[in-house]
Amino acid sequence: MEINDIKLYDQRPDDERLTKETAVYDLLEKLGIGYLRADHPTADTMEDCEVIDKALGVNIAKNLFLCNRQKTCFYLLIMPSDKGFRTKDLSAQINSARLSFADADAMQEYLGLTPGSVSVMGLMNDKDKFVKLLIDRDLLSNEYFGCHPCINTSSLKIKTDDIMNRLLPFLGFQPVIVDL
């Protein structure tokens, strides 16, 4: 994929999309949150996102869906894409031993998402607030936040302030800020 292959839009798509993606645009419109959108081939890895990042002028955040050993606590960790992740560092900050990646079934059950499409937007599907949101402090210093609209064939650039002060409060999530 080349940067010239990516077209940018400041509105919702006008073609047929999956219900979960359409729900993201509906929510953003309801909250009056503006965004820049890029449609692209499937972006399964952070490497795939590099070209998209350049086109949007933002780094797509790394989103990890984690759980404790007993699979009784689930976490959505959002961190800069260029940062490494060590479970030991995070476990100590949130008082949870033995964190690991949650499986695809739990991801579908709690966030309504499939692997590769995990995003802060998936929290709109967690009506019971079962997932705890963790955000790396370094993301908060960026003017913009990059994420998928619950599908990894589009990416969004949204003001970080809109995520933190409009989206998350509306959804009822109070993030835990961590330092990785």
Cα→Cα distances 170→81, 98, 109, 145, 163, Å: 26, 31, 21, 17, 10
pTM: 0.92
Q: Are strands 74-79 and 131-136 parallel, antiparallel or unpaired?
A: parallel
Ordered by where they begin, the domains of the chain are 3-178 (3.90.960.10)
* The predicted structure's pLDDT at residue 42: 84
pLDDT digits (tens, 9 = 90+) for 23-73: 999 999 999 999 999 998 887 666 667 888 889 999 888 999 999 989 999
Provide the terminal-to-terminal Cα distance of the chain, rounded to the nearest Å.
31
DSSP-assigned letter for residue 176: E
pLDDT digits (tens, 9 = 90+) for 69-101: 899 999 999 999 888 888 888 998 998 878 999
